[in-house]
Structure 1
Amino acid sequence: MQVESFFEWLGQALGAVIRFIVDGLSGLFNALTHAGGNFVEGLSQTLGMDTSIISILALIVGLMLLYSAIRAFMRASIIMGIIWLLLGLWLLSWVIH
Protein backbone atom coordinates (compact mmCIF):
# COMPACT_ATOMS: atom_id res chain seq x y z
CA MET A 1 0.00 0.00 0.00
CA GLN A 2 2.80 2.39 0.89
CA VAL A 3 4.77 1.53 -2.28
CA GLU A 4 1.78 2.17 -4.54
CA SER A 5 1.22 5.65 -3.11
CA PHE A 6 4.93 6.46 -3.52
CA PHE A 7 4.89 5.55 -7.21
CA GLU A 8 1.62 7.39 -7.69
CA TRP A 9 3.19 10.50 -6.11
CA LEU A 10 6.33 10.06 -8.25
CA GLY A 11 4.23 9.78 -11.43
CA GLN A 12 2.25 12.89 -10.55
CA ALA A 13 5.42 14.84 -9.76
CA LEU A 14 7.08 13.78 -13.00
CA GLY A 15 3.90 14.58 -14.96
CA ALA A 16 3.75 18.04 -13.37
CA VAL A 17 7.38 18.74 -14.30
CA ILE A 18 6.83 17.60 -17.89
CA ARG A 19 3.64 19.65 -18.12
CA PHE A 20 5.49 22.75 -16.83
CA ILE A 21 8.27 22.31 -19.41
CA VAL A 22 5.81 21.78 -22.29
CA ASP A 23 3.72 24.81 -21.29
CA GLY A 24 6.85 26.96 -21.01
CA LEU A 25 8.17 25.89 -24.40
CA SER A 26 4.74 26.33 -25.95
CA GLY A 27 4.60 29.91 -24.68
CA LEU A 28 8.12 30.60 -25.95
CA PHE A 29 7.40 29.21 -29.43
CA ASN A 30 4.09 31.09 -29.59
CA ALA A 31 5.91 34.33 -28.77
CA LEU A 32 8.55 33.64 -31.45
CA THR A 33 5.88 32.81 -34.03
CA HIS A 34 3.98 35.98 -33.20
CA ALA A 35 7.16 38.08 -33.47
CA GLY A 36 8.07 36.49 -36.82
CA GLY A 37 4.58 37.06 -38.15
CA ASN A 38 4.68 40.69 -37.09
CA PHE A 39 8.09 41.12 -38.76
CA VAL A 40 6.90 39.66 -42.07
CA GLU A 41 3.68 41.69 -41.91
CA GLY A 42 5.60 44.93 -41.27
CA LEU A 43 8.12 44.16 -44.01
CA SER A 44 5.44 43.36 -46.54
CA GLN A 45 3.38 46.45 -45.68
CA THR A 46 6.42 48.71 -45.96
CA LEU A 47 7.50 47.27 -49.31
CA GLY A 48 3.94 46.96 -50.62
CA MET A 49 4.15 43.26 -51.37
CA ASP A 50 2.14 40.16 -50.51
CA THR A 51 2.88 38.12 -47.40
CA SER A 52 3.08 34.80 -49.25
CA ILE A 53 6.13 32.57 -48.99
CA ILE A 54 6.71 32.93 -52.75
CA SER A 55 6.96 36.71 -52.42
CA ILE A 56 9.38 36.43 -49.50
CA LEU A 57 11.54 33.95 -51.43
CA ALA A 58 11.48 36.19 -54.52
CA LEU A 59 12.56 39.14 -52.34
CA ILE A 60 15.49 37.13 -50.97
CA VAL A 61 16.55 35.98 -54.45
CA GLY A 62 16.29 39.54 -55.78
CA LEU A 63 18.47 40.85 -52.96
CA MET A 64 20.99 38.08 -53.66
CA LEU A 65 21.07 39.12 -57.32
CA LEU A 66 21.76 42.72 -56.31
CA TYR A 67 24.54 41.48 -54.03
CA SER A 68 26.01 39.53 -56.95
CA ALA A 69 25.89 42.70 -59.04
CA ILE A 70 27.81 44.62 -56.40
CA ARG A 71 30.40 41.84 -56.19
CA ALA A 72 30.75 41.83 -59.98
CA PHE A 73 31.26 45.59 -60.04
CA MET A 74 33.91 45.27 -57.31
CA ARG A 75 35.77 42.75 -59.50
CA ALA A 76 35.57 45.25 -62.37
CA SER A 77 33.32 42.97 -64.39
CA ILE A 78 31.04 45.63 -65.80
CA ILE A 79 28.99 43.43 -68.16
CA MET A 80 28.21 40.77 -65.54
CA GLY A 81 27.46 43.51 -63.02
CA ILE A 82 24.93 45.07 -65.36
CA ILE A 83 23.33 41.68 -66.06
CA TRP A 84 23.02 40.81 -62.36
CA LEU A 85 21.76 44.32 -61.60
CA LEU A 86 19.06 44.18 -64.28
CA LEU A 87 17.94 40.70 -63.21
CA GLY A 88 17.78 41.76 -59.55
CA LEU A 89 15.89 44.96 -60.27
CA TRP A 90 13.50 43.14 -62.60
CA LEU A 91 12.71 40.54 -59.95
CA LEU A 92 12.32 43.11 -57.18
CA SER A 93 10.06 45.28 -59.34
CA TRP A 94 7.89 42.23 -59.95
CA VAL A 95 7.58 41.54 -56.21
CA ILE A 96 7.22 45.10 -54.92
CA HIS A 97 4.06 46.85 -56.06
Structure 2
Amino acid sequence: MQDFFTWLGRTLGEIIRFVVDLLTHFFQNLGASARGFFDGLATSLGIPATVVSLAVLLLGLWLLYLALRALMRRSLIATLIWAVLGVTVLSWLIY
Protein backbone atom coordinates (compact mmCIF):
# COMPACT_ATOMS: atom_id res chain seq x y z
CA MET A 1 0.00 0.00 0.00
CA GLN A 2 2.87 2.33 0.81
CA ASP A 3 4.43 1.69 -2.60
CA PHE A 4 1.22 2.81 -4.28
CA PHE A 5 1.23 6.16 -2.48
CA THR A 6 4.93 6.61 -3.17
CA TRP A 7 4.27 6.00 -6.86
CA LEU A 8 1.24 8.34 -6.76
CA GLY A 9 3.23 11.12 -5.08
CA ARG A 10 6.15 10.74 -7.48
CA THR A 11 3.82 10.78 -10.50
CA LEU A 12 1.93 13.82 -9.23
CA GLY A 13 5.24 15.61 -8.57
CA GLU A 14 6.48 14.86 -12.09
CA ILE A 15 3.24 16.17 -13.59
CA ILE A 16 3.45 19.38 -11.57
CA ARG A 17 7.10 19.80 -12.53
CA PHE A 18 6.25 19.28 -16.21
CA VAL A 19 3.47 21.90 -16.09
CA VAL A 20 5.69 24.43 -14.30
CA ASP A 21 8.53 23.91 -16.81
CA LEU A 22 6.10 24.19 -19.71
CA LEU A 23 4.67 27.48 -18.42
CA THR A 24 8.14 28.85 -17.67
CA HIS A 25 9.35 28.18 -21.22
CA PHE A 26 6.11 29.53 -22.68
CA PHE A 27 6.36 32.87 -20.88
CA GLN A 28 10.09 33.21 -21.60
CA ASN A 29 9.45 32.65 -25.30
CA LEU A 30 6.45 34.98 -25.23
CA GLY A 31 8.60 37.81 -23.86
CA ALA A 32 11.33 37.17 -26.41
CA SER A 33 8.75 37.10 -29.21
CA ALA A 34 7.21 40.40 -28.11
CA ARG A 35 10.65 41.99 -27.85
CA GLY A 36 11.54 40.75 -31.34
CA PHE A 37 8.24 42.04 -32.73
CA PHE A 38 8.75 45.53 -31.31
CA ASP A 39 12.39 45.63 -32.43
CA GLY A 40 11.39 44.62 -35.97
CA LEU A 41 8.55 47.16 -36.02
CA ALA A 42 10.80 49.95 -34.80
CA THR A 43 13.55 49.03 -37.26
CA SER A 44 11.21 48.96 -40.24
CA LEU A 45 9.75 52.35 -39.31
CA GLY A 46 13.15 53.85 -38.59
CA ILE A 47 12.31 54.80 -35.01
CA PRO A 48 14.09 53.92 -31.78
CA ALA A 49 12.62 50.96 -29.90
CA THR A 50 11.71 52.86 -26.75
CA VAL A 51 8.49 52.91 -24.79
CA VAL A 52 7.95 56.60 -25.57
CA SER A 53 8.30 56.17 -29.33
CA LEU A 54 5.98 53.15 -29.31
CA ALA A 55 3.45 55.14 -27.27
CA VAL A 56 3.63 58.02 -29.78
CA LEU A 57 3.15 55.50 -32.59
CA LEU A 58 0.05 54.12 -30.88
CA LEU A 59 -1.25 57.68 -30.36
CA GLY A 60 -0.81 58.48 -34.06
CA LEU A 61 -2.52 55.27 -35.11
CA TRP A 62 -5.36 55.94 -32.67
CA LEU A 63 -5.86 59.41 -34.18
CA LEU A 64 -6.02 57.89 -37.66
CA TYR A 65 -8.56 55.37 -36.35
CA LEU A 66 -10.66 58.26 -35.05
CA ALA A 67 -10.46 59.84 -38.50
CA LEU A 68 -11.70 56.60 -40.05
CA ARG A 69 -14.60 56.43 -37.59
CA ALA A 70 -15.52 60.04 -38.35
CA LEU A 71 -15.43 59.23 -42.05
CA MET A 72 -17.82 56.32 -41.50
CA ARG A 73 -20.21 58.73 -39.78
CA ARG A 74 -19.89 61.03 -42.81
CA SER A 75 -18.44 63.86 -40.76
CA LEU A 76 -15.91 65.37 -43.15
CA ILE A 77 -14.69 68.20 -40.92
CA ALA A 78 -13.95 65.83 -38.03
CA THR A 79 -12.30 63.41 -40.47
CA LEU A 80 -9.97 66.12 -41.71
CA ILE A 81 -9.10 67.26 -38.18
CA TRP A 82 -8.35 63.76 -36.86
CA ALA A 83 -6.44 62.80 -40.02
CA VAL A 84 -4.26 65.93 -39.91
CA LEU A 85 -3.54 65.37 -36.22
CA GLY A 86 -2.71 61.70 -36.79
CA VAL A 87 -0.43 62.37 -39.74
CA THR A 88 1.27 65.19 -37.82
CA VAL A 89 2.01 62.96 -34.82
CA LEU A 90 3.29 60.17 -37.05
CA SER A 91 5.45 62.58 -39.06
CA TRP A 92 7.12 63.72 -35.83
CA LEU A 93 7.99 60.14 -35.12
CA ILE A 94 9.03 58.87 -38.54
CA TYR A 95 11.75 61.01 -40.07
TM-score > 0.5, shorter chain as reference? yes
Which of 11, 36, 39 matches 2:37?
A: 39
How far, CA to CA, are the matches of 1:9 and 1:88 in structure 2?
A: 64
Give the alignment of 1:3-82 within 5 angstroms.
3=2, 9-82=7-80
Task: Report the secondary structure of 1:76's partner residue.
Answer: coil
How far, CA to CA, are the matches of 1:88 and 1:71 in structure 2?
A: 13
How far, CA to CA, are the matches of 1:80 and 1:28 in structure 2?
A: 44
Deviations 1:12-71 (A, max 9, x none): 433222111111111122222222111111100000112122222221221111121122
In terms of mean alpha carbon deviation, does 7-16 or 62-71 score higher?
A: 7-16
Q: TM-score, normalised by structure 1?
A: 0.77
Matched with 2:90 is 92
Structure 1 stretches lacking a partner, 5+ long: none
Paired residues, number: 95
In terms of mean alpha carbon deviation, does 8-17 or 35-44 score higher?
A: 8-17
Q: TM-score, normalised by structure 2?
A: 0.79
Q: Which amino acid aligns with 1:96?
A: I
Structure 2 stretches lacking a partner, 5+ long: none
Please give the root-mean-square deviation of Cα atoms over the aligned residues, in Å. 2.1
Query: Identity rate of aligned residues, in percent?
Result: 44
